[in-house]
Amino acid sequence: MTASYIALDWGSTNLRAFLYQQGKCTAHIRSERGITRLDGTTPQQVFSEVISPWQSLNLPVIMAGMIGSNAGWVDVPYLSAPVNIDSLGQHLFPVEAALPVKAWIVPGICFNRDDNCNVMRGEETQLLGAYDESPASLYLMPGTHSKWVHAEGSKICDFRTAMTGELHHLLMNYSLIGKGLPEQQNSADIFRQGLESGFCQPEITGRLFEVRAAHVLNRLAKTAVSDWLSGLLIGSEVAQMLSHFGGEHRITVIGNPLLTGRYGQALDLAGIGWQALDGDQAFQSGIRRIVNAMGN
């Protein structure tokens, strides 16, 4: 493997492609053609379309994310944890349907046991990059399905998933909580109040209806329900996960600045030290390490 290649971060809703030439990212493409948004096309067709501007370079392609799931292009077997993420480059899955382009998919990681049934795809590549760029004993990857990962060096010892982002979307769009609300507006103060409430009382199932009651009774502005609910859910998630993993860690939070900042407020509330790492930077650093391992 040379220092020139194409990397695809191909998730459920988005696809990001990066062109590397002699170790430097020289171009990138962003698309909304995630595996749930193929709009009648096949993954193979989207793959060919995305790399077509660079296909004349005849470069190998490394893919990570949900493209390797049972809903993606190829169902790539998971690596069973505990696992050393430095070994990812030794377990790449070749995609024969991409030929004559040489392409591989990075495998995901799973726990399959009575006390923890969990899977990840795509996050493992970011974790490898974070281990290189901003090592920690606990990593937090907020999003639709937030991942909390305990590591000892490069060894993934445990991880858990919180469906916080998806719960917020479902409750705001398909439940009584969000029914009939006007357009939502950002409110840092309301988010903070929700955050403190969720963190102090993390068992929030019995309190979710109060979100609706609060705006019905005019105790909560109807334009700030989204931020209150977001704070409540994030505060609850952080409190529960810190209870599980313990509060002695310094945490690397991987993602986009908006989400890392929101979760950072919760970690500040808990008195936990943390540092942020951009998700794209983590992915690209992880892919680089995988490519280097392939060359060995």
Please write the tens of the pLDDT for every residue from 247-294: 888 899 999 998 999 999 999 999 999 999 999 999 999 999 999 887
Give the alpha-carbon dihedral of 255, 259, 262, 267, to 10 degrees: -30
Six-digit token string for 35 = 């595996």
Can you give the pLDDT at residue 248? 86
Q: Could you count the other beta carbons within 10 Å of the beta carbon of residue 70?
A: 8
Strand 61-64 to strand 5-10: parallel, antiparallel, or no bridges (unpaired)? parallel
Q: If pLDDT is split at 50, 70 and 90, which confidence band does 23 have?
A: confident
**% of the chain residues with pLDDT over 90:** 88
Looking at residue 191, what DSSP letter applies? H
Q: If pLDDT is split at 50, 70 and 90, which confidence band does 2 have?
A: low
pTM given for the model: 0.93
**Tens digit of pLDDT for each residue in 179-230?**
999 999 999 999 999 999 999 999 999 889 999 999 999 999 999 999 999 9
Helices (H), 52-187: 123-133, 164-174
Can you give the pLDDT at residue 245? 95
Q: If pLDDT is split at 50, 70 and 90, which confidence band does 295 have?
A: low
Six-digit token string for 160 = 């858990």
pLDDT above 90 for 296: no
User: What is the C-alpha separation between 266 and 264, in angstroms, rounded?
Assistant: 5
Strand 61-64 to strand 103-105: parallel, antiparallel, or no bridges (unpaired)? parallel
Residue 213's nearest CA partner among 170, 177, 168 is 177
**Tens digit of pLDDT for each residue in 91-113?**
999 999 999 999 999 999 999 99
Can you give the pLDDT at residue 250? 87
